[in-house]
């Protein structure tokens, strides 16, 4: 089926590019804040420094290791076989999903609420599938959708539990010890070793596209253990040299401990930005690539090739969104939910990175946004409910609950408009 005279194929391709860029911009404005929110909230980096770092690592992740294939429909929620004979319907549907997702992300960012791109995209796909008159409600794989929804509940709980336990351990064994600086001389090198080891595993063991090391898991774990030991010894030596004349008791000691953990925060935040650019650039260009395939009359498939210019295009959009509008969500994640210090920020970032790594290896489609916010809630709960701004928490949870139905509704309305304009 081809579009009527009102909108030619070339016009549709231009519209697809514009919508794809708008979605990438909104992903940068909302989703990237999760990697840099706590490092700003703790005062380790200024907002400008965080935006510069995140922009560099997001773009490098998208360009250097971004996947050369991208999913058109996430999670296998809808079968592409339904659209085999109607590629134009599929193309318009993917445009509708992308635009609806971008609009909802824009609204959420304006309200300073961190929401999940994955949730919004899944909601849009469901909305499109249910109104496109191909299969009706039966075309939605409800069991698969149920699994995805279950992971949305599990991921913030795991992130929160991990952050809670990590921060409680730091408080007990370091901050409340008789000599916190001396304890930190052991704890921080251990944190460096464990953090870098987890990041190494995350990047190399089927983590980042095009970086995977083709080795058996036991050999990769052996390499990781050696790396951890080397890093621990090196960090102990560096700290020993830098603290020969440093105080060992009093307020200055606590400031030194927080500063050391702040360095770990920066390391983790940079990795999360790099990984986000590598993995989530496909969220921006997936529907774009799928709709372009359909409009060109090419075969539909679950995964479509993502050319280097598309990766760069998505990366630039994400960076611009972060640098021009990301400050609103960064402020919420880093300052409004609970007070963040370097030790708390490190606990939240470490728990987020670890949860995302483990769940990804188990094949669970979790949301980084939900995990990150859950981890921040965890460090807040470690200090008691009074340390949380429950009004902000309630608003964020409400935005999570309504993301899927709102995205589905927006998609349905936009799809009907496209149908009317194209005469399909």
Percent of the chain with pLDDT over 70: 80
136-181 tens-digit pLDDT: 566 677 777 787 788 888 889 999 999 999 999 999 999 888 888 8
Q: Tell me: pLDDT of 219 over 70.
A: yes
Cα separation, 340 vs 374, whole angstroms: 14
Identify which has the larger pLDDT, 129 or 382. Answer: 382
Q: Find all residues with CB under 8 Å of 23, minimum gap 6, and list them.
A: 98, 99, 101, 102, 105, 283, 284, 287, 288, 317
Q: What is the pLDDT of residue 197?
A: 85
Chain centre distance of CA 405: 21
42-67 tens-digit pLDDT: 889 998 898 888 888 888 877 776 65
- Report the predicted TM-score, pTM, of the whole model to 2 decimal places: 0.85
Q: Which residues pair with 140 in a beta bridge?
A: 78
Cα separation, 30 vs 369, whole angstroms: 9
Cα separation, 240 vs 186, whole angstroms: 10
Q: What is the pLDDT of residue 3?
A: 45
Identify which has the larger pLDDT, 253 or 346. Answer: 346
> Please, what's the b/e burial string for 331-365 (b: 16 or more CB within 10 A of its CB; e: otherwise)?
bbbbbbbbbbbbbbbbbbbbbbbbbbbbbbeeebb
Nearest Cα residue to 26 out of 120, 153, 145, 129: 120
Confidence grade of residue 101 (pLDDT, cut at 50, 70, 90): very high
């Amino acid at each position: 089926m081809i579009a009527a005279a009102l909108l030619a194929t070339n016009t549709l391709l231009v519209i697809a590019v514009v919508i794809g860029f708008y979605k990438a911009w909104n992903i940068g404005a909302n989703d990237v804040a999760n990697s840099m929110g706590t490092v700003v909230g703790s005062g380790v980096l200024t907002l400008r420094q965080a935006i510069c770092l995140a922009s560099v690592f997001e773009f490098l992740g998208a360009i250097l290791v971004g996947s050369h294939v991208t999913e058109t429909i996430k999670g296998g929620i809808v079968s592409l076989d339904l659209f085999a004979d109607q590629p134009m319907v599929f193309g318009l549907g993917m445009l509708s999903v992308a635009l609806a997702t971008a609009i909802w992300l824009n609204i959420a960012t304006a309200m300073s609420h961190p929401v999940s791109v994955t949730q919004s995209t899944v909601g849009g796909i469901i909305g499109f599938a249910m109104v496109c008159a191909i299969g009706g409600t039966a075309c939605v794989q409800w069991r698969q959708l149920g699994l995805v929804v279950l992971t949305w509940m599990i991921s913030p709980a795991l992130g929160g539990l991990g952050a809670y336990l990590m921060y409680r351990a730091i408080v007990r064994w370091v901050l409340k010890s008789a000599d916190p600086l001396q304890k930190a001389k052991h704890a921080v090198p251990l944190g460096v070793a464990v953090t870098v080891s987890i990041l190494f595993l995350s990047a190399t063991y089927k983590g980042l596209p095009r970086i995977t090391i083709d080795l058996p898991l036991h050999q990769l774990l052996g390499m990781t253990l050696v790396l951890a030991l080397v890093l621990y010894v090196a960090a102990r030596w560096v700290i020993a040299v830098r603290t020969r004349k440093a105080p060992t008791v009093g307020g200055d000691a606590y400031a030194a401990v927080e500063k050391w953990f702040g360095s770990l925060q920066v390391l983790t935040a940079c990795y999360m930005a790099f990984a986000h650019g590598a993995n989530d650039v496909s969220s921006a260009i997936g529907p774009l690539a799928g709709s372009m395939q359909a409009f060109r009359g090419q075969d539909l498939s679950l995964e479509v090739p993502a050319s280097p210019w598309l990766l760069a295009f998505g990366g630039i959009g994400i960076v611009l969104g972060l640098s021009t509008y990301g400050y609103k969500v960064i402020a919420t994640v880093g300052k409004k939910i609970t007070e963040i210090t370097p030790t708390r920020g490190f606990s939240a970032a470490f728990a987020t990175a670890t949860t995302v790594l483990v769940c990804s290896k188990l094949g669970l489609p979790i949301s980084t946004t939900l995990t990150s916010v859950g981890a921040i809630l965890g460090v807040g709960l470690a200090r008691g409910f009074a340390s949380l701004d429950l009004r902000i928490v309630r608003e964020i949870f409400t935005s999570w609950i309504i993301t899927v139905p709102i995205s589905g509704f927006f998609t349905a309305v936009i799809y009907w408009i496209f149908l009317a304009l194209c005469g399909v």
